[in-house]
């Protein structure tokens, strides 16, 4: 064996993560809000970029962007430049742009008013605002209003007190009996049950407002609330010495009450709205997939800097800077377009595979994995994962996160295909909705009924799916 140092030439292939490739991967993974924020950052750092509105009739603008993309994809064999190093000077000389169509700004008459729905927004009332409005009419004493305002501001989002009477009295300087008096006034406010210290007091306040609070209700709430939650009505009947039917009637009345009276009001935290990335519409017998252009920023290259580059023949530093910025802008535009195309291809494959779901409902959702879609589209599984991350789909069945259509399940269903766990849950819910309340189906009964439909799962799996849907067991669902 000879030891020594040699110089050899080897040809290898490897993937180099260039900054442009990293940017393209990030853009694919961004959801609508993240992409919009990223584009706003790029608009601030890259003066060459402009954001324009996608409007009908902008054919000249679309034609120029298409030509620019085609020119960018043309091999620069004569000049020896790579795809990302475009000779913008030669490009602009060859192209004869109509400068009239490019404007940096457009003068508008300040006296001219444009009214549109986009100029207005709704404002939801929060719980503190609703209670403060009632407080100003409840008492004319300055001290009571001060204490009442402090109590209202200390309530949590569900309408419960977070401080004790002693703490409120210490903070406001009012005697404890005055705090109790103001608290009793707040208990009369809408929504009923607000300002309660715990669940028992909340339910009692609501029963009192209905005028049906008596000794029996108080005893049930104070001594048998856990038995009531577990549907142990027989134990309550035996302890209180009344019939099970009477206990059932009281339980029905209590279950109609609101345990969290404050949740019907707007949250004080920011509300984030879902903007679907893809629209699925049924046309004749087919489902047509359309990318929502309104959710994607519409970018273009500034004509001003294109002209400036053509005039920067003598300043090499300025020419290099503008060329780099233009290349960066074109790459960003291409990355966003590639993101749209990838999402479209993935969703089209998903819709094709889950066609029965869009026609008949959630009971016909099939098992689907990232690998199946990756093989169908011809991309890597990680690319499929990034393209569906945080993306939403609007269809005749409603708005769904695209991840919803990827789920495990069991095999041996209709036609030998896999049945999604979400589909099995729909069957379980349908069985429970149609059961006799006085004799509800047990988990084993549902196993047999599902087997008749061609779904072979164990009792523990049925119990697991039932718990995930927050459905009680048969003993707790039973009515007397």
Contact 305, 325 (CB under 8 A): yes
Confidence of residue 79 (pLDDT cuts 50, 70, 90): very low
**Is 226 a residue whose pLDDT tops 60?**
yes
* Mean pLDDT (the chain, rounded): 80
**Assigned superfamily of 409-480:** Homeodomain-like (1.10.10.60)
**Lowest-confidence range among 1-10, 38-47, 349-358?**
1-10
Per-residue burial over 166-176, b = 16 or more CB atoms within 10 Å of its CB, e = otherwise: eebbeebebee
Confidence of residue 114 (pLDDT cuts 50, 70, 90): low
Where in the chain are the domains?
127-264, 409-480
- Helix (H, G, I), strand (E, B), or coil: what is residue 300? strand
- Helix (H, G, I), strand (E, B), or coil: what is residue 401? strand
Per-residue pLDDT reduced to its tens digit, 238-279: 988 888 889 999 998 998 999 999 888 866 555 567 888 899
Contact 47, 306 (CB under 8 A): no
How high is the pLDDT of residue 468?
Answer: 85
- In angstroms, the Cα distances linking 433 to 236, 246, 454, 466, 472 are 27, 25, 20, 13, 12
Q: Is 179 exposed, middle or buried (CB count within 10 Å of its CB: 0-12, 13-18, 19+)? A: buried
How high is the pLDDT of residue 203?
Answer: 93
Mean pLDDT within 160-179: 90
**Is 1 a residue whose pLDDT tops 80?**
no
Q: Is 113 exposed, middle or buried (CB count within 10 Å of its CB: 0-12, 13-18, 19+)? A: exposed
How high is the pLDDT of residue 257?
Answer: 92
Mean pLDDT within 372-379: 90
> Which residue in this structure is represented by tokens 């040809």?
11
Per-residue pLDDT reduced to its tens digit, 94-108: 544 444 444 444 445
How high is the pLDDT of residue 297?
Answer: 78
Rounded CA-CA distance 329/28 in Å is 17
Gyration radius of the chain's alpha carbons:
33
CA nearest to 459, candidates 446, 471, 449, 469: 446
**Lowest-confidence range among 70-84, 279-293, 316-330, 348-362?**
70-84
Per-residue pLDDT reduced to its tens digit, 436-463: 888 888 988 888 888 888 788 888 888 8
Contact 51, 41 (CB under 8 A): no
How high is the pLDDT of residue 196?
Answer: 92
**Is 416 a residue whose pLDDT tops 90?**
no
Per-residue pLDDT reduced to its tens digit, 336-345: 999 999 999 9
Confidence of residue 80 (pLDDT cuts 50, 70, 90): very low
Contact 368, 354 (CB under 8 A): yes
Give 301's contacts (C-beta < 8 A, 6+ positions apart).
Answer: 48, 49, 50, 68, 326, 329, 330, 333
How high is the pLDDT of residue 55?
Answer: 46
- Helix (H, G, I), strand (E, B), or coil: what is residue 57? coil
Confidence of residue 349 (pLDDT cuts 50, 70, 90): very high
Which of 10-19, 33-42, 200-209, 261-270 holds the top average pLDDT?
200-209
How high is the pLDDT of residue 204?
Answer: 93
Cβ atoms within 10 Å, residue 66: 10
Percent of the chain with pLDDT over 70: 80
Which of 187-191, 294-298, 412-416, 419-423 holds the top average pLDDT?
187-191
How high is the pLDDT of residue 205?
Answer: 93
């Amino acid at each position: 064996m000879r030891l020594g140092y040699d110089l050899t030439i080897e040809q290898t292939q490897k993937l180099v993560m260039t900054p442009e490739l990293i940017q393209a991967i990030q853009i694919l993974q961004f959801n609508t809000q993240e992409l919009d924020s990223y584009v706003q950052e790029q608009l601030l750092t890259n003066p060459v970029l402009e954001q324009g509105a996608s409007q009908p009739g902008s054919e000249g603008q679309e034609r120029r962007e298409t030509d620019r993309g085609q020119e960018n994809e043309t091999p620069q064999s004569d000049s020896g430049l790579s795809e990302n190093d475009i000779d913008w000077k030669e490009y602009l000389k060859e192209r004869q742009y109509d400068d009239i169509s490019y404007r940096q700004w457009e003068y508008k008459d300040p006296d001219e008013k444009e009214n549109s729905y986009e100029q207005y927004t709704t404002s939801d009332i929060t719980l503190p605002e609703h209670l403060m409005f009632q407080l100003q009419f409840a008492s004319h004493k300055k001290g009571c209003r001060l204490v009442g305002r402090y109590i209202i501001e200390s309530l949590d989002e569900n309408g419960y007190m977070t401080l004790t009477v002693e703490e409120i009295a210490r903070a406001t300087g009012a005697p404890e009996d005055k705090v109790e008096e103001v608290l009793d006034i707040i208990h009369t406010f809408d929504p009923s049950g607000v300002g309660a210290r715990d669940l028992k007091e909340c339910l009692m306040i609501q029963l009192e407002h209905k005028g049906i609070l008596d000794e029996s209700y108080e005893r049930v709430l104070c001594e048998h609330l856990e038995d009531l939650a577990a549907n142990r009505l027989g134990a309550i009947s035996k302890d209180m010495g009344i019939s099970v039917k009477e206990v059932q009637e009281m339980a029905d009345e209590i279950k109609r009450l609101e345990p969290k009276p404050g949740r019907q009001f707007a949250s004080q935290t920011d509300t984030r709205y879902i903007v679907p990335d893809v629209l699925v519409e049924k046309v004749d017998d087919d489902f047509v997939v359309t990318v929502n252009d309104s959710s994607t920023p519409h970018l273009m290259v500034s004509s001003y800097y294109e002209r400036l580059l053509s005039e920067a023949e003598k300043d090499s530093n300025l020419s290099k800077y503008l060329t780099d910025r233009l290349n960066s802008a074109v790459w960003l535009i291409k990355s966003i377009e590639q993101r749209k195309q990838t999402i479209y291809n993935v969703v089209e494959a998903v819709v094709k595979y889950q066609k029965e779901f869009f026609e008949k409902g959630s009971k016909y959702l099939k098992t689907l994995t990232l690998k199946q879609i990756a093989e169908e589209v011809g991309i890597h599984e990680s690319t499929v994962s990034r393209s569906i991350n945080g993306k939403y789909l609007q269809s005749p069945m409603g708005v769904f996160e695209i991840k919803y259509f990827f789920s495990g399940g069991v095999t041996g269903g209709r036609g030998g295909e896999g049945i999604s766990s979400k589909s099995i849950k729909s069957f379980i819910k349908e069985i429970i909705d149609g059961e006799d309340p006085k004799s509800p189906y047990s988990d084993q009964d549902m196993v047999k009924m599902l087997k008749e439909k061609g779904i072979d799962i164990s009792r523990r799996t049925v119990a697991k799916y039932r718990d995930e849907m927050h459905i009680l067991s048969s003993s707790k669902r039973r009515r007397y």
